[in-house]
Chain A
Amino acid sequence: MKHGDWGGMDVLDLARMQFGVTTVYHFLFVPVTIGLSMLVAILQTMWRATGKTAYLRATKFWGKLFLINIAMGVVTGIVQEFQFGMNWSSYSRFVGDIFGAPLAFEALLAFFLESTFIGIWIFGWDKLKPALHLACIWLVAIGTVASAYFILAANAFMQNPVGYQINETAGRAELTDFGAVLTNPVVLSAFPHTIFASWLTAGVVMIAVSGYHFQQRRDLDVHRPALRLGVLTTLVGGLGTTLSGDALGKVMTSTQPMKMAAAEALYQTTYNAPFSVLTIGSLDGRHGTPIIEIPGLLSYLGTGSFNGEVQGINDLNAQYQTLYGAGDYVPYIPLTYWSFRLMIGFGLLAIAMAVIVWWFTRKGGNPTHRLFWPIAMWMVLTPFLANSAGWIFTEMGRQPWVVFSLLETEVGVSPSVGVRTVAMSLIGFTLVYLMLAVIALKLFLKYAKAGPPSEEDALAGASGPGTDPEKPMAFAY
């Protein structure tokens, strides 16, 4: 292995940091894409079903915001696929026989569908019959969901490896049961959890943008239905995220008990384990003193019974040392503890905001307090913080493993890549991503504030193929 360090960090540190930066960044756009593609499809369906131009204007308005977002999701997604090989070549050799197939399925079944039909949808307003054009956006929405399933199935193998055997001669895990890989209990919970969280995210975005126009009291015929749809989506997404998160917690307790213990900073195995809202711990993550606790809640979350046994960090570490040899099998507790709480806390805040907005806008209301809508708008940050915290928890809680119980993260890193190479690409991606973040956000705000197109502009070319070959394109870059 090429050793050496860069600013005190070695290849492993930098590769992990790069994975964290690029993945969290990519996942800012993914849930919006999953959620908004469906919401745009619903708006367009409402237009087709009722013929109301307000719904068409909403479709075009939200379609544009959706495109600003999806462009970033698409281009940052390619980095994700490449960096397994670039930074994690030993990992790739070890799991390729199992991990590669869901990725290939994702590309073949989902990415082609999304990417091809989004192009047709964007440019096809005046090229296709309206029903066919509507089908295109639904295919995009289906593609995004299918893509989530395959990538989460791949991730589930890292959390809870199933359907494999170890080939000692080849030094790798080999596939024995692809059905088991695709129906891993972790993906069966993580998939609905991710999809519902995406709906929640897109719903909150819709509430925030509509809220701006409620505050301006402009185009409410377009924004009120969107606000209602946003609230409904947030509440359905919120409820689903909570229920699937609960199921995922129980799967996690049985498959990765260390992660559950790390989520609570529970050092000793405990019956009737409490859930702490605040713990003061040492920074090395070796000790913790709970300050505010809800008795029995952790046992309930983990086992479904308030008196259930939740294994503690110290006991699990001792067990793992017997099973896997001498070493330290404890993730970095302050991070797992707080990311778990921030995920739940920000998610609940988002749901609470949706309920409050629903209450004050029902029956045609529009709150006049000067802080109401600004607060609702700033709450748009909550699902993004919750999503990021959730992934940081999922991946950091698995440490020191990259594939739980089979391969440690430090073994997975590319042995042939030098520290300066990874540092260079980390800096490069970070700078490009930062610049694009500023630009994307500015554009999103600009078009969010500009509001929907006029009735005339929205209708132009929306009625399907025309006969005049020289007429301007309905949409052009």
Chain B
Amino acid sequence: MELTTIWFLAIAVLFTGYFILEGFDFGVGVLLPVLGRSNRERRAMINTIGPIWDGNEVWVITAGAAMFAAFPHWYASLFSGFYLLLFAILIGLIIRGVAFEYRGKGTTDKWRQGWDLCIFTGSVLAAFFWGVVVANIVRGVPLDANFDYTGSVWQLLNGYALLGGLTTLLLFTTHGAYFLHLKTAGEISERARALGLRLAVATAVPAAAFLIWTQAAYGSGLSLVLIVLCVLSLVAAFLLDYSGRGGLAFASTCATVAFAASGLFAALWPDVLPSTSDPANGLTAVNAAATDKTLGIMTWAAAIFLPIVLLYQGWTYWVFRKRVTVEQIPT
């Protein structure tokens, strides 16, 4: 297999991993004011992701750095072209990250309400705009001969991309609800389950529209398979949750996110950022890539260290496998 193909797959895996893991973190943040009726309930919710959100966020740092190293042109065109979208995501990630750490370190209601707002807003911003970013990558943007973006920020807020943003926002929120159902106990877990069922239905509509649009306009044989699996796993999540199988239901929303992300990458391949102005200016896995030397070194590093990372991150989830109950939250 070509090294450029391997690295296209690696970037797809890193972003997919990121969306699965931080996806439910975002969902927990979005649901914080909805599901958490008291301070202790909200604390129980935050503590389900307390030990893991930071490690989850490193997936996007790794994905970004790997893109920089493996596909410098993709990284450069994307980050400069999608400037304000990424700015919004960064602000979102900053305020919610600090909020997790600082919320419990004050004592007044006003303090906690402020940070709750940061967690909610930050999660919504990131969950929505990541969808807008990925949709625009698949759709393509106007690029000049140097691969530089020539459009405006408004062109990035087109109908297809906004639908993509709505899809990720709702999908991550659903994913978060199933996670909370699994990771909490008692009343709050039941509420998460009930809401998760309704959210799955609410997600299905825009997600189906977005994925059908994707398949019709940009799809391939592989993307069709993945998109069908995505829809099926969302239905499975709903049915499993309905029949009280919380663990399997969450596994199914993990699959939904994974199939959605990989379906989009499959639709993108072999491009990495198509040009809508002149197709000749588009970036592909070949013309955006670094040299084989760099890709070779990166392949060795990833082959050795990514499994190690998966092992110890997996171990973290094992250590914190127990449900968080409201009663366990120290007063």
Contact = CB atoms under 8 A, between A and B. Distances in A.
Interface string B287-318: 00011011001100110011001001100100
Contact of B75 (A72, A77, A92): A92
A360 to B, nearest CB: 33
B120 to A, nearest CB: 15
A86 interface: yes
Contact of A123 (B50, B146, B302): B50
Interface stretch (B66-74, B164-172, B190-198): B66-74
Contacts of B54: 74, 115-116, 118-119
Contacts of A105: 301
A92 B69 CA distance: 9
A414 interface: yes
A105 B299 CA distance: 11
A89 B76 contact: yes
Interface range for A: 35 or more
Contacts of B75: 85, 92, 96, 100
A446 B102 CA distance: 12
A79 B91 CA distance: 9
B146 A428 contact: no
A82 B153 contact: no
Given A89-B76, A123-B320, A425 B102 contact: no
B79 interface: yes
Contact of A75 (B97, B297, B313, B325): B97
Contacts, number: 249
B77 to A, nearest CB: 7
Contacts of B105: 68, 443, 446-447
A101 B319 contact: no
Interface in A83-130: 84-87, 89-90, 92-93, 95-101, 103-109, 111-113, 115-120, 122-124, 127-128
A477 B78 contact: no
Given A123-B50, A477-B47, A421 B153 contact: yes
Task: Choose among B55, B78, B100, B144 the residue with the greatest number of A CB atoms under 10 Å from its CB.
Answer: B55
Given A119-B55, A471-B328, A476-B47, A174 B76 contact: no
Contact of B91 (A99, A106, A428): A428
B62 A112 contact: yes
Interface in A150-206: 172, 174-176, 178
B293 A115 contact: no
B86 interface: yes
Contact of B64 (A81, A446, A472, A477): A81
B307 to A, nearest CB: 11
Interface string A452-477: 00000000000000000111110011
A71 B76 contact: no
Contact of B316 (A106, A119, A436): A119
Contacts of B64: 81-82, 85, 107
Task: Choose among B80, B95, B297, B302 the residue with the greatest number of A CB atoms under 10 Å from its CB.
Answer: B80
A81 B61 contact: yes
Contact of B78 (A85, A116, A176, A424): A85
B13 to A, nearest CB: 13
Contacts of A81: 61, 64-65, 68
A74 B294 contact: no
A89 B283 CA distance: 15
A432 B290 contact: no
B309 A89 contact: no
A417 interface: yes
18 contacts: A85-B80, A86-B79, A89-B148, A96-B71, A103-B65, A103-B68, A104-B68, A108-B65, A111-B61, A113-B312, A119-B316, A120-B51, A414-B83, A416-B148, A416-B150, A432-B95, A439-B98, A476-B104
User: 6 nearest interchain CB pairs?
Assistant: A96-B72, A85-B79, A100-B69, A71-B101, A89-B80, A100-B68
Given A96-B290, A100-B290, 10 more contacts: A96-B76, A108-B65, A112-B62, A116-B312, A119-B50, A119-B316, A415-B146, A416-B150, A477-B43, A477-B47
Interface of B: 43, 46-47, 50-55, 57-58, 60-62, 64-73, 75-81, 83-84, 86-87, 90-91, 93-95, 97-98, 100-106, 144, 146-150, 153, 290-291, 293-294, 297-298, 301-302, 305-306, 309, 312-313, 316, 319-320, 322, 324-325, 327-330
